[in-house]
Amino acid sequence: MSKPTRTFDHIPVVDISGLYSDKLADRQQVAKQIADAATNVGFLYITGHRIPQSLIDALLVRTKEFFARPHREKMRYYIGNSSNHSGYVPEGEEQFYGGKIDHKEAYDINNDLGHLSQQGPMIGPTQWPDMAGFKEDVSAYYQAALNLGQLLFRGFALALDLPEDTFDDKVKNPPSQLRLIHYPYNPDAQDREGIGAHTDYECFTLLLPTTDGLEVLNDNGEWIDAPVIPESFVVNIGDMMEILSNGRFIATSHRVRKVKEERYSFPLFCSCDYDTIIEPLVDPAPGIKPGTYQPMCCGDHLLAQTMHTFHYLKERVAKGELQFPDSSADASSFGKLREVL
């Protein structure tokens, strides 16, 4: 069988309130809609998520306060000062596929695990800025979003016709990272990319943007707008879910462009635990040859892909301080990118 062509022209909306139901039939009905969207688009909006607006409002206030600080103060918390990839990311620090520089700044928040046994290149205590209320309000949102991600993992299990608890023991202490992203106002940025075309590395992303700008690539090579829908999140399939689903759910390439007005974006990259072996859990999708997806360590893939894009990590590689993990894939190995780049 040939691989289906995804010629979508919009992003579907799924009300996930049924995932909170005590009735399996209700949860399965939502899972079917998730499966349809993940198969045919790789992106979906979700409503009915139960994250209080007060947490979102507080997150935005703290984010604006931090990015309003002078550059010199923000650089005190530079991500290159951390041992586990958390902190401030200045404009130009990241370069995605094709060498394009991202015109944005960010602050990366870890799953704030302080246990010595949990520390590693992509996991451990967060480097928090010295700013009243920032840690408290951002942590509160992070935990609510992480809980929603855990619920979606159960929904994805049902969407693959797997036991609902398939991922429960694989997401106990995940290196799921929350990014606070700021795109500065630029009246000349109509045709300027903020983030170049890429797929996300993890299982899926739970995204909260404040304004439009996100675009998604279909199989015709067309960029489809994903405008902001109030009281919803955007969810997109990442590299690891493409492997776990054996090609049924494809990591869809996306980008941010036309950033004219000031914009904030809050993606939570939902991952499995660092040492989890990511491998197909179901039979191959139509058009996918058996053995296309090889097992890899979750943390190794996450680290390797991050090393491909962050300047400070590239410097550590050049100095011999850091090496690429053996169990990792090249950049642009997933989704439409492997065909067009």
Report yes or no on 6 lying in a domain. no
Q: What is the pLDDT of residues 321-336, one digit of tens each?
A: 888 887 555 544 555 4
Report yes or no on 313 lying in a domain. yes
What three-state secondary structure class fits 251?
A: coil
Token readout for 279 is: 């491998």
Q: What is the pLDDT of residues 281-299, one digit of tens each?
A: 999 999 999 999 999 999 9
Report yes or no on 2 lying in a domain. no
Q: Are 307 and 314 in contact (CB under 8 A)?
A: yes
Identify the domain containing residue 199 by its residue range. 13-340
Number of folded domains in the chain?
A: 1
Q: What is the pLDDT of residues 230-265, one digit of tens each?
A: 999 999 999 999 999 999 999 999 888 766 788 999
Q: Are 68 and 105 in contact (CB under 8 A)?
A: no
Q: What is the pLDDT of residue 257?
A: 72
- 180 pLDDT tier (thresholds 50, 70, 90): very high
CA nearest 243: which of 271, 273, 284, 198?
A: 284
Q: What is the pLDDT of residue 340?
A: 38
Residue 84 and residue 86: Cα distance in Å, rounded? 6
Look at phi and psi of residue 217 and say left if phi exceeds 0, alpha if psi is from -120 to 50, else beta. beta
pTM: 0.92
Report yes or no on 62 lying in a domain. yes
Report yes or no on 8 lying in a domain. no
**Residue 120's CATH number:** 2.60.120.330
Q: What is the pLDDT of residue 339?
A: 43
- Is a pLDDT exceeding 60 seen at residue 215? yes
Q: What is the pLDDT of residue 255?
A: 87
- Is a pLDDT exceeding 90 seen at residue 104? no
- 201 pLDDT tier (thresholds 50, 70, 90): confident
Report yes or no on 198 lying in a domain. yes
Report yes or no on 222 lying in a domain. yes
CA distances from 194 to 200, 206, 237, 238 (A): 15, 19, 20, 20
Report yes or no on 88 lying in a domain. yes
Q: What is the pLDDT of residue 325?
A: 86
Residue 269 and residue 275: Cα distance in Å, rounded? 17
Instruction: Give the whole-number percent of the chain exceeding pLDDT 90.
Output: 71
CA distances from 217 to 6, 9, 10, 66, 199 (A): 10, 10, 11, 33, 10
Mean pLDDT of the chain: 89
- 94 pLDDT tier (thresholds 50, 70, 90): confident
Q: What is the pLDDT of residue 337?
A: 39
Q: What is the pLDDT of residue 54?
A: 98
Instruction: Give the whole-number percent of the chain exceeding pLDDT 70.
Output: 88
Q: What is the pLDDT of residue 331?
A: 45
Q: What is the pLDDT of residues 32-91, one digit of tens each?
A: 999 999 999 999 999 999 999 999 999 999 999 999 999 999 999 999 999 889 999 999
Token readout for 256 is: 């941010």
